[in-house]
Chains A and B, each alone.
Chain A
Amino acid sequence: MAMDVIDYKLYGEDMQFVEIELDPGEAAIGEAGAMMFMEDGIAMDTIFGDGSMAQKSVWGKLLGAGKRLVTGEGLFTTVFTHQGTSGKRKVAFAAPYPGTIVPVNLPDVGGTLICQKDSFLCAAKGVALGIAFQRKLGVGLFGGEGFIMQKLEGDGLAFVHAGGTLYKRDLAPGETLRVDTGCIVAMQTSVSFDIQYVGKLKSALFSGEGLFYAVLQGPGTVWLQSLPLSRMANRIVMAAPALGGRSQDQGSLLGGLATGGLLGGMLGGDE
């Protein structure tokens, strides 16, 4: 499996896109719909599956496409190939919502990266997109990432995207980090992913952190996101009067109840 070595440049701070420079004959695969622009000489082709193994049987391709569907990606991937004979050409992929794009060189992390489903943005052609199925029931139910995660395999460069600011954290052997569920974006396979009850009923109910933490134990590298999309979406809906929302930021349980009613409407009126 020959990997294409690609150069890239990231633009923007919170709403990023990545520009990839392709040498003649090189190709990049992108999540369907992620392409922002491409220069002359680059041809776009849509393929069934992820293009990591061109000689796969029809059945194998179908299986691969099915897996992609489960992980929340499209059935098809688009391949961008520099078909010219000289010079470098550029193609850019944009993140679908505010957040950060993180380049991960797969050989640097041992060749395999487990990431949040739907977080794949683009990669060098040859990177395989698969599923990492969460076999721990508790983690799947309460870990915030669900049962299906994405597995990127290969020895090229891959770009993942998640909400808010992305934070790369290296865990030493045995070091643990407790993380809010839903904030994990990616990790090496050597990292143990578990859940832990917050410990006190009072905290479980009123701390706002939910019933469980995700617990990550090293060795290995993990990437965390500061603002999962669902959380931001939730806040936007809560704040959108057209959708029936009317939320004062940082509202408590009581505040939430009160502002829902007529009384709250009078007390909290800001129109």
Chain B
Amino acid sequence: MQFTSLVYGPGLPPSGSRLAVRLDSFHLTLTLPDNRPLSVPLTQVQVAVGGFNDTVWRFEWSDAQGRWAVTLEDAATQNALLAQPPAALAQALSAAGRKQSRTRTRARLGFGALGLWFALPALLLIALLWNASSITGWVASKVPIKTEQKLGEMVWKAQKAQLRLVENTAANEAVASIGAKLTQGSRYSYRWFVARDNSINAFAMPGGTVVVHTGLIEAAKTPEELAGVLAHEVQHIEQRHSLRAMAQSLGTMAALGMVFGDVSGIAQIAASLSQLSYSRDAERDADARGLAVLKAAAIDPQGMVRMFETLGKESEGLNPPAMLSSHPATAERIARLKTAIAEAGSWPVQPLAIDWAAVQASVR
């Protein structure tokens, strides 16, 4: 086999000289710059791997004048030599090949590990967001109910001042009696309030406080419609959605902080989008579970559907795009609800024995 390569040795330039090299079964022969051949038996030649990134094979030997080195960098020639090595060098060459592939493997492993190390926070973030619901559920389950009630009390105190509460009316009674049906056997002790406000709304606070706006009572045509909304709100409390939202928000902030260094700009936007998405999931969850509670209490689920329809008409044209909204689109909720009702099949229904006209009159 013949090739040209940089040769270093006594009498040659210190930066090497490109010479023709011939390898036969027994000898390595160089053609020196003055055309003189230099031949050395392969038994005296050692093979080493070196050079930048271990890409170079060195054939080295010593003679009376000093040490010689033939450096072979060309990968194609190296492979050709590996395929048909001179017998005397077979072992040394295959060892050199092994050393090179070891270097390559090590580089791959090392850079893989390095890449993984840098990608780790991002992977963690993805895993966290993927399992957000079960993780936050677990975190929320670790919070004792007492703590939750204290938290709810704080929120309630702050809210109370801004609400115009209506007390001792037929509406209060109606809300409390329907609520009691929906919360049988609950671990929370519920408090029911009616606030004077024309918007069609009701909301729940952690620990078991539910506030219904008078606008909702006026818009509802039957007590079943009110029951549908209450069933939904009660599930926010039962499923501890606000605690889970807090866990989710803190968790995402921490994870985003880890990945992006500080929580600002894009990270902030990502965090709020993820919170809104969580909030939409929580609404869907409350819808589905609310329906189940209606079934358990033998209340007509059509009331819930009709209430959503009324709500949809009221807010027509005011809805933000789905991604930026805290609630799913009303049409979507109604469709889901109808499917769920169809799946559950019909159940025996007991009409709620409430004089609805009197209730509505009491808050007018």
Q: Which residues of A contact B (CB under 8 A)?
A: 108-110, 114, 132-137, 170, 172-174, 187-193, 217-221
Closest CB pairs A-B (n = 7): A170-B14, A173-B69, A219-B8, A137-B110, A192-B50, A135-B107, A190-B71
Q: Which of A136, A170, A172, A190 has the most CB of B within 10 A?
A: A190
The residue in chain B whose Cβ has the minimal distance to the Cβ of A169 is B14
Interface pair A110/B52, CB less than 8 Å apart: no
Interface pair B52/A132, CB less than 8 Å apart: yes
B67: chain A residues at CB < 8 Å are: 172-174
B111: chain A residues at CB < 8 Å are: 137
Interface pair B15/A170, CB less than 8 Å apart: yes
Query: How many A-B contacts at CB < 8 Å in the complex?
Result: 85
B107: chain A residues at CB < 8 Å are: 135-137
The residue in chain A whose Cβ has the minimal distance to the Cβ of B106 is A137
CB distance from B264 to the nearest CB of A (A): 26
Interface pair A189/B16, CB less than 8 Å apart: no
Interface band, chain B: 20 to 34
Contact of B15 among A174, A188, A192, A217 (CB under 8 A): A188
CB distance from B204 to the nearest CB of A (A): 55
CB distance from A265 to the nearest CB of B (A): 33
CB distance from B78 to the nearest CB of A (A): 14
The residue in chain B whose Cβ has the minimal distance to the Cβ of A170 is B14
CB distance from B53 to the nearest CB of A (A): 5
Interface of B, helix, strand, loop or mixed by DSSP? mixed
> Can you list 15 A-B pairs, Cβ within 8 angstroms, ordered by A?
A134-B53, A135-B54, A135-B104, A137-B111, A172-B67, A173-B58, A189-B55, A189-B73, A190-B73, A191-B50, A192-B50, A192-B56, A217-B50, A219-B69, A220-B8
Interface pair B51/A191, CB less than 8 Å apart: yes
The residue in chain A whose Cβ has the minimal distance to the Cβ of B72 is A190
Q: Is B13 an interface residue (CB 8 A)?
A: yes
A110: chain B residues at CB < 8 Å are: 6, 15-16, 18
Q: Which residues of B contact A (CB under 8 A)?
A: 6, 8-9, 13-16, 18, 50-56, 58, 60, 66-69, 71, 73, 103-104, 106-107, 110-111, 114
Interface pair B15/A109, CB less than 8 Å apart: yes
Interface pair A108/B52, CB less than 8 Å apart: no
The residue in chain B whose Cβ has the minimal distance to the Cβ of A114 is B52
CB distance from B19 to the nearest CB of A (A): 11
A172: chain B residues at CB < 8 Å are: 8, 66-67
CB distance from B241 to the nearest CB of A (A): 47
Docked CA distance A172–B60 (Å): 11
B50: chain A residues at CB < 8 Å are: 190-192, 217
Interface pair B103/A219, CB less than 8 Å apart: no
Docked CA distance A222–B60 (Å): 20
A134: chain B residues at CB < 8 Å are: 53
Contact of B103 among A136, A188, A190 (CB under 8 A): A136
